[in-house]
Chain A
Amino acid sequence: MRALAIARASGRRVLRDRVALFFLIILPIVVIVVVGAVAQGFNTFRVGVVDLDGTQASRQLVAELSHASGLAVIAYPSVGSLEKAVARSEINTGVVIPRGLSTDELSARAVTVGVIAEQANSTQQAAGTRVTSVVEEFGARVEAAQFATRYGGSFVQNLSRASSLESSTPRVGLSSQVVHTSQGSLPPGYEYSAPTELVLFVFLMAIAGGATIVETRRLGMFERMSAAPVRPRTIIAGESITYVVIAAVQSLVIVAIGSVVFGVSWGNPLAAAALLILWCLVGAGAGMVAGTFFRTPEQASAMGPIVGIVFAMLGGCMWPLSIVSTTMREIGHATPQAWAVDAWTNLLSNHGDLVTISHELGILVLFALGFFGLATFRLKRMLSSRGA
């Protein structure tokens, strides 16, 4: 087959270019490791706690902090050592529980729990906010317990009663938000970033790789190939095979390292495989379009990442499209990225499978066909009207 001969020649060229090959493999590894490390870092805040009170009530607050999602609690002996740890960024925030949290006579007055975070440090601020919300919830129960104590029972008894009452009462405001989050976008943290980074990365690399196509074109190779009985669509098909293989290898690297090292789940295997392969095809198609639109290889490698990033932003790879306006969401869905991210969301948040993402897969097929068609049209026109 002629397309295979073309694929073989360009594949051989890729394999021969050790430097390019190194980056083709190393870059996805870097991407997954960086994303993994950063996302895990953001996932849990380290919280230092000094318990000056040392009572049942204060221990309950510490326990609530450790059970709160995204917080890891480390105990410190003194306020001084806690402050030092915050200053050195060993911990993201510090909590000081003052003496007298639960004594009956003091339960009648306000107690301030100190939260230490540096103003200029956004991570510490975020950690502080998270801690504050846990403390405030606890505070609300303290108030309830104080109120109840006026009518009977000890403060501690009332506090634990308030806690159990609260946990069986749905918190309307918060819970509605949680429901919304889990349906409209991927789970927070690494689970979200790994698939969207894959979507971003594979596409971006493919467009930048269009530089090779521009180079081949400018070498006069496409013209030479068409001096033989070879159609433009055969040339596009042949070159694409190489691109699909490269994209597939990169995807596999990301998926493998993601699952093995960082424990990322990729959802239903069959559906994930279909989505990955289709995304490689979309990327390869976009790479071919880039190869027939850009004039110079430099232009392709400079513009490729820009186009890739803009598409990724519009398509919800950088932030979930559920947080943008309806108009932006609609505009976003003009990019294939949005459909791929939608499909991942469905796979990971709603335990989707091939059937539930078939709509998105169908649209990605159309994108791939559209890109290949456009690239073929461009090459054909170049070859017949101007010379490529």
Chain B
Amino acid sequence: MSRPPVLECAGLTKSFGTRLAVDGVGFRIAEGEVYGLLGPNGAGKTTTMKMVCGLLEPDKGSISIAGQQAIGNLEVKGLIGYVPQEVALYPDLTAYENLAFLARLYKLGRRTVAARVEEALELTELSDRRNDRLDSFSGGMKRRMNIAAGLLNHPKLLVLDEPTVGVDPQSRHAILERVQAFGREGLAVVYTTHYMEEAERVCDRVGIIDHGRLIAEGTRRELVAQLGEQDRIELNASGDLERLAEACRAVDGVSSAATAENSVHLVATEGRHLLPAILEAADAADISITSVDVVEPDLEAVFLNLTGTALRE
């Protein structure tokens, strides 16, 4: 990596009581890079992000931001823009009041505060709703406000924790475009998601996290290359999916199989040639398959291959 890292963390570990939520996670993000942290529910994404933002103290590990040691360092927080997973804003204040309040926390002058608020409203296309209270906003608009609030301090590192949850496809598209633009403008961005498509689309590099551990990392191409000649097969079916997965695992060439919502996902070498054998196995298990998809290797397949479970169960 030629560009200097904006965020560099290593060995991050955090337990809640006896539950190990994050276990030795480390990665680096350079200027202008969008890094995706991809993992299922409860993988430890939010916990990792909170540690990076100085909101949770790691049990172990190190974090440096723009070359400065970050743990317990108040001033470093001024370099980070944090967009929490849950919308955190005052419902009884207007969009403008919320943003102006948060901007003041960065010790900006009165003029700068006003300018930054305008800019953030503009970027998230909420300028025309500036004087409306947050509790009159739709879910998607609140999400955009949540992002706007993370931009007020012109951060060097932008941390977005699942910013598109509950957003309609149009707004989601706009948000993803915006995130890519942040990268082009030189920001370092961490983007957590459990949507494989989002990670593939906006992230330059992706870290895959499961059960608190970073189990793979790289560009999409690098990650998919790990699969070799394997394909991902999606079987849509109804009935006992667990039994279907079981039957498929027994087929020669299938390296992993996992159930997801109304479907079973497989990773298999030369998938196309295995289809007859798989359908036969399904038949034997007395399960009717409604459709079959053979997909080019993707991050979903990588996750399935590494963990034996589907990303979204």
Interface residues of A (CB under 8 A from B): 2, 5-6, 8-9, 12-13, 16-17, 219-221, 223-231, 383-387
Which A residues touch B153, using CB under 8 A?
228
Q: Is the CB of B57 within 8 A of A223?
A: no
Binds A, one of B61-69, B90-98, B301-309: B90-98
CA distance A387 to B88 in the complex (A): 13
Interface residues of B (CB under 8 A from A): 16, 50, 53-57, 74-75, 77-78, 80, 82, 84, 86-93, 97, 101-102, 104-107, 149, 153
Which B residues touch A231, using CB under 8 A?
74
Q: Is the CB of B75 within 8 A of A229?
A: yes
Which B residues touch A223, using CB under 8 A?
55, 84, 88
Of A225, A227, A230, most buried by chain B (CB within 10 Å of CB) is: A227
CA distance A360 to B216 in the complex (A): 64
Nearest A residue (CB) for B59: A385
- Min CB distance A220 to B, Å, is 3
- A5-B101, A13-B90, A229-B74 given as contacts; is B84 within 8 A of A224 (CB)? yes
Which B residues touch A5, using CB under 8 A?
101, 104-105
Tell me if A's interface is mostly helix, strand, loop or mixed: helix
Which of B54, B82, B93 has a CB less than 8 Å from the CB of A12?
A: B93
Q: Is the CB of B106 within 8 A of A228?
A: yes
Nearest A residue (CB) for B113: A5
Q: Is the CB of A221 within 8 A of B88?
A: yes
- A8-B101, A12-B97, A386-B16 given as contacts; is B55 within 8 A of A227 (CB)? yes
Of B75, B78, B104, B149, most buried by chain A (CB within 10 Å of CB) is: B104
Which A residues touch B105, using CB under 8 A?
2, 5-6, 225, 228-230
Q: Is the CB of A383 within 8 A of B78?
A: no
Tell me if B's interface is mostly helix, strand, loop or mixed: loop
CA distance A17 to B56 in the complex (A): 33
Q: List 7 A-B contacts (CB under 8 A).
A: A9-B101, A13-B93, A227-B54, A227-B55, A227-B84, A228-B78, A229-B107
- A9-B97, A224-B102 given as contacts; is B77 within 8 A of A219 (CB)? no
CA distance A8 to B91 in the complex (A): 16
Q: Is the CB of B16 within 8 A of A2?
A: no
CA distance A130 to B16 in the complex (A): 67
Given contacts A8-B101, A219-B91, 20 further A-B contacts (CB under 8 A): A2-B104, A5-B101, A5-B105, A9-B90, A9-B97, A13-B93, A219-B90, A220-B86, A223-B88, A224-B82, A224-B84, A224-B89, A227-B55, A228-B106, A229-B77, A229-B78, A231-B74, A384-B56, A386-B16, A386-B56
CA distance A384 to B14 in the complex (A): 11
CA distance A381 to B272 in the complex (A): 56
Of B74, B75, B104, B105, most buried by chain A (CB within 10 Å of CB) is: B105
Which B residues touch A383, using CB under 8 A?
55
Which B residues touch A225, using CB under 8 A?
102, 105
Q: Is the CB of A219 within 8 A of B55?
A: no
Nearest A residue (CB) for B17: A386
Which of B57, B77, B86 has a CB less than 8 Å from the CB of A227?
A: B77
Which B residues touch A229, using CB under 8 A?
74-75, 77-78, 105-107
Q: What 4 pairs across the A-B complex have the smallest Cβ distances? A: A220-B88, A5-B104, A228-B105, A227-B82
